Structure 1
Amino acid sequence: MLRGGRTIELVEATLRHDDRPALRVRAWLMRPNDTAAIAGTPITAIAPPESMPAWDPGTVWPGGFIKSVEIRRHNQGPGRATYWARAKHALLDDEPVSPLARAATLFDLSNGMAVRADPKDVAFPNLDLTAHLFGMPEGEWLGFDTSVSFGRQGLGLTSTVLHDARGPIGMLGQALTVRP
């Protein structure tokens, strides 16, 4: 715990490999309040997963993780796509996990599902991933409305609005290093 409190806390976890930090996660934990009477957003919902064609992300990306995810996608051109994703396998065998934990396993898909350039020609790994939620995810599908931008000096940004079956629930941001 980095900052304790009665209504807001900041927590951090670090994954180490060979005694070096490999991954650091921080989360603000907030006491929930009943705001149902004023809930809403001007962000437009994306089309439901059943209206989008199945897409094999293995046509762009190799690896085991990408094969473990089902994708339904509407490609809108370089660096722009709307899509739905769901895991084909449980996060933990014989262990229930929260809808938030299940959704969080899919957050890092964002940069790879709306590619701006062929990853065989240009590397564009994300340096970070920041998630801001205004609703807790429900259901097995997580929707993404993603735009990928490359600047002129090797910088990039992936911006995503997250959705569940009810509509928008949050946003993701990823800073990119772009390397031809």
Structure 2
Amino acid sequence: MLHGRLLGGLAARSLEEHHAEPGLRFARLTVDLFRNSPMLPVTVETTLVRNGRRIRVADAVLSTEQGVIARASAVLLRESEQPDGERSLVTPAWDQAPPAAPPVEGDGWRPPFDLWWVTPFDAQGRAWMRERHPLVDDEPLTPFVRAALAADFASPLANTQPGGLRFINADYTLTLARLPESDLIGVEATGHVSAGGVATGQVTMHDTAGPLGFCVVTALANPVIGGR
């Protein structure tokens, strides 16, 4: 099946290609993953919804020959002068140094990206990630696409438990104060709430310069998906 992370990455790529502009910053990307799809060619169509002086909104629809499989919405905000003064609440920089050696690959699931576990998968998840494959042909990954690919990992990181992953995400919303400055992205589970088979989870996203944003997911109860 087509991985949800690929659909989010493709949506981000097309939205950036058609709607990016110097001085406008991608501040939010919401990806709705409402239909599984086999490995088929994917078409992405984007639409400009709002083009104001300080805010731009654009949508994307992802389809295969079987119909619409996902959709996305992006909000771009105009950069401006940062307000001075101290903040009442500031997310601290991660205390975990970037990895200095290649990741260790075990006998179980092997992701299609480099992954360094900082804490065990079934604990309060913390990991470093780095893409090692292009998304489309030999195109270099942009920072925004890199962040969109990494964001899908929020669901297994925030929703896992001892014995496996019992939730599958229906969407994810990535919010960014800035784009990642490095190819390494750190993801840190910072919240999970669930009841009646419905869950919401949250991660803080970092790069080697510090925190850069958050990702929130909603998820449905699902039979156990693997373990570590």
In the TM superposition, what is the alpha-carbon distance from 1:19 to its structure 2 partner? 5.4
Q: Equivalents in 2 of 1:55, 1:91: separation in Å?
A: 23
Which secondary structure does the structure 2 equivalent of 1:103 belong to? helix
**Deviation digits for residues 16-68 of structure 1, max 9, x if unmatched?**
12353211010001222242866977212221222799454872x4xxxx532
- Change in 2 beyond 3 A, CA 1:39/1:160: farther
Which position in structure 2 is the counterpart of 1:145? 188
Give structure 1 stretches of 5+ with no counterpart: none
In the TM superposition, what is the alpha-carbon distance from 1:166 to its structure 2 partner? 0.9
When structure 1 is superposed on structure 2, of 167-176 and 74-83 the one drifting more is: 74-83
Which position in structure 1 is the counterpart of 2:163? 118
In the TM superposition, what is the alpha-carbon distance from 1:171 to its structure 2 partner? 0.3
TM-score (normalizing by structure 1): 0.80
In the TM superposition, what is the alpha-carbon distance from 1:79 to its structure 2 partner? 4.9
Partner residue of 2:76 out of 9, 29, 39 = 29
- Change in 2 beyond 3 A, CA 1:58/1:20: farther
Q: How many percent identity over aligned positions?
A: 25
Which position in structure 1 is the counterpart of 2:143? 99
Q: Equivalents in 2 of 1:151, 1:55: separation in Å?
A: 32
**Deviation digits for residues 70-112 of structure 1, max 9, x if unmatched?**
1111226735111110011233343233211122112111222
When structure 1 is superposed on structure 2, of 5-14 and 72-81 the one drifting more is: 72-81
In the TM superposition, what is the alpha-carbon distance from 1:173 to its structure 2 partner? 0.3
Q: Equivalents in 2 of 1:39, 1:98: separation in Å?
A: 32
Instruction: Tell me if structure 2 keeps the 8 A contact 1:8–1:29.
Output: yes
**Deviation digits for residues 121-172 of structure 1, max 9, x if unmatched?**
x631101100111121111100111146352311112210000111110000
- Change in 2 beyond 3 A, CA 1:29/1:150: closer
Please, what is the CA RMSD of the aligned residues?
2.9
Instruction: Tell me if structure 2 keeps the 8 A contact 1:136–1:169.
Output: yes
- Change in 2 beyond 3 A, CA 1:156/1:118: same
Q: Equivalents in 2 of 1:116, 1:148: separation in Å?
A: 13
When structure 1 is superposed on structure 2, of 139-148 and 74-83 the one drifting more is: 74-83
Instruction: Tell me if structure 1 keeps the 8 A contact 2:118–2:128.
Output: no
Which position in structure 2 is the counterpart of 1:15? 62
When structure 1 is superposed on structure 2, of 109-118 and 19-28 the one drifting more is: 109-118
Give structure 2 stretches of 5+ with no counterpart: 1-47, 224-228
Q: How many residues align?
A: 173
- Change in 2 beyond 3 A, CA 1:25/1:58: farther
Q: Equivalents in 1 of 2:52, 2:58: separation in Å?
A: 11
Which secondary structure does the structure 2 equivalent of 1:49 belong to? coil
Which position in structure 2 is the counterpart of 1:43? 91
Q: Equivalents in 2 of 1:110, 1:13: separation in Å?
A: 21
